[in-house]
């Protein structure tokens, strides 16, 4: 199995009719196999040049120049393939969709050198060794469950990244929040690194645009099951936005500030909530356009058994058998 990086050498002439266009825009048109963000990175490092000169993504072209690309496309790296059971919901030669369990880290990193989804994907499909990040185009937090899409070719990866950037990928999550919400709505608050706690994200003035739509699925006396739809995909977005609303996720040790128990709960209910080992967040629905056929596709994954059991116990706690 090859783990070598791929060397890229390409040239393209800027059409005279394209005079006045930005370098990064033209690069996306002339080198369509690569995402705009990757091309912008190459422009900034000097790997992609205009008439042999280093330029900026926003620089304008006059028309007739030559764009030249000499870059190294990093493959998945030297990560070891590892046999793991994967709950694959759909797979063809272009992509696969899986239902990620709780506790599975998506990508190797500090403290998680192996045993990750990436390691499992490399074992499942050896060709992913030659795709950046083994085809992973978006992530779920370690303890978030549910649907993820993985590209199996470079072309599919570029297309799926473009769909994510264009906000046409439909991602819906079920979240159990503290407190009784009155109605659904939209949170449009920028997210960036927490100013003092660098492992956390936060709503900050100069953060990246972040938009979460949410609707009420079921109300309990002291908790609410909401359906969140992501318009953007910032790190910890739903967790941060729900905490900003003063309705943090049950089990979220990072953003709930220790608050997940309402007053007046039975001892059994208190015990069940305290024992729930993670944030109550599940990626329940995923929709996108197939990168090869363009056909709209959609998948659903039921909430995991422990999440469902917690909802059942909350219903019983209310004494009605159903939310109000």
- What are the boundaries of each domain within the chain? 6-73, 88-159, 170-318
Is 141 catalytic? The answer is yes
Q: What is the pLDDT of residue 55?
A: 94
DSSP single-letter state for residue 58: T
Residue 282 and residue 260 in contact, taking contact as beta carbons nearer than 8 Å: no
CATH 3.40.50.2000 fits 170-318, yes or no: no
Residue 121 and residue 128 in contact, taking contact as beta carbons nearer than 8 Å: yes
Residue-by-residue DSSP string for 69-135: EEEEE--S-SPPP------EEEE-SSEEEEEEPTT--SS-BTTBSSSSHHHHHHHH-GGGGGSGGGG
Helix (H) or strand (E) holding 300: strand 296-300
β-strands 66-73, 48-50: how paired? Answer: antiparallel
Residue with tokens 């079920």: 174
Q: What is the pLDDT of residue 2?
A: 38
Q: What is the pLDDT of residue 246?
A: 95
Helices (H), the chain: 23-30, 36-45, 117-124, 154-165, 237-244, 267-275, 305-318
**Integer Cα distance of 243 and 13 in angstroms:** 50
pLDDT tens track, the chain, 324 positions:
334 456 778 899 998 888 899 999 888 888 876 777 778 889 999 999 999 999 999 999 999 999 999 987 665 556 789 999 999 999 999 999 999 999 999 987 666 768 999 999 999 999 998 888 899 999 999 999 999 999 999 999 999 999 998 999 999 999 999 999 999 999 999 999 898 887 899 999 988 999 999 999 999 999 999 999 999 989 999 999 999 999 999 999 999 876 778 888 999 999 999 999 899 999 999 999 999 999 999 999 999 999 999 999 999 998 743 444
186 φ/ψ angles, rounded to the nearest 5 degrees: -135, 135
Distances 233 to 49, 100, 237, 239 between C-alpha atoms, Å? 30, 17, 7, 12
* Fold (CATH) for 6-73: 3.10.290
CATH class of 88-159: alpha beta
Same topology between domain 6-73 and domain 88-159: no
Q: In what order do the strands lie in the sheet with 6-13?
A: 6-13, 66-73, 48-50
Within 8 A by CB and 6+ apart from 5, the residues are 72, 73, 74, 75
**Integer Cα distance of 23 and 60 in angstroms:** 6
Options 24, 141, 143, 174, the catalytic residue: 141
3-state SS class at 8: strand
Q: What is the pLDDT of residue 174?
A: 98
Q: What is the pLDDT of residue 271?
A: 93
Question: Which token pair is 75?
Answer: 């493959």
Q: What is the pLDDT of residue 321?
A: 38
Longest dimension (CA), the chain: 75
Residue 214 and residue 224 in contact, taking contact as beta carbons nearer than 8 Å: no
Q: Which of 96, 89, 93, 123 is nearest to 1 (CA)?
A: 123
Residue 59 and residue 46 in contact, taking contact as beta carbons nearer than 8 Å: no
pTM: 0.77
Q: What is the pLDDT of residue 6?
A: 64
């Amino acid at each position: 199995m090859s783990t070598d990086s791929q060397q890229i050498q390409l040239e393209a002439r800027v059409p005279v009719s394209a005079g006045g266009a930005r370098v990064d825009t033209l690069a996306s048109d002339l080198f369509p196999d690569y995402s705009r963000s990757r091309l912008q990175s190459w422009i900034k490092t000097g790997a992609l040049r205009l008439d042999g000169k280093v330029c900026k993504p926003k620089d304008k072209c006059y028309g007739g120049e030559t764009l030249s690309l000499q870059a190294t496309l990093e493959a998945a790296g030297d990560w070891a393939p590892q046999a793991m059971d994967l709950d694959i919901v759909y797979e063809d030669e272009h992509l696969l969709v899986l239902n990620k369990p709780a506790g599975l880290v998506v990508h190797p990193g500090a403290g998680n050198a192996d045993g990750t989804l990436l390691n499992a994907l490399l074992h499942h499909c050896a060709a992913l060794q030659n795709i950046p990040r083994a085809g992973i185009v978006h992530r779920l937090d370690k303890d978030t469950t549910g649907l993820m899409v993985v590209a199996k070719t470079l072309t599919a990866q570029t297309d799926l990244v473009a769909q994510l950037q264009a906000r046409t990928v439909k991602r819906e999550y079920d979240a159990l929040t503290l407190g009784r919400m009155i109605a659904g709505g939209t949170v449009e608050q920028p997210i960036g690194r927490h100013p003092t706690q660098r492992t956390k994200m936060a709503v900050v003035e100069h953060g990246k645009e972040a938009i979460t739509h949410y609707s009420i699925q079921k109300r309990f006396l002291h908790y609410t099951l909401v359906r969140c739809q992501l318009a953007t995909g910032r790190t910890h977005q739903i967790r941060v936005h729900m905490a900003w609303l003063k309705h943090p996720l049950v089990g979220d040790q990072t953003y709930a500030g220790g608050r997940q128990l309402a007053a007046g709960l039975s001892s059994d209910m208190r015990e069940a909530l305290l024992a729930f080992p993670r944030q109550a967040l599940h990626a329940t629905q995923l929709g996108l356009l197939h990168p090869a056929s363009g056909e709209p596709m959609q998948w659903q994954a039921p909430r995991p058994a422990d999440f469902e059991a917690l909802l059942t116990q909350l219903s019983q706690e209310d004494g009605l058998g159903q939310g109000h």
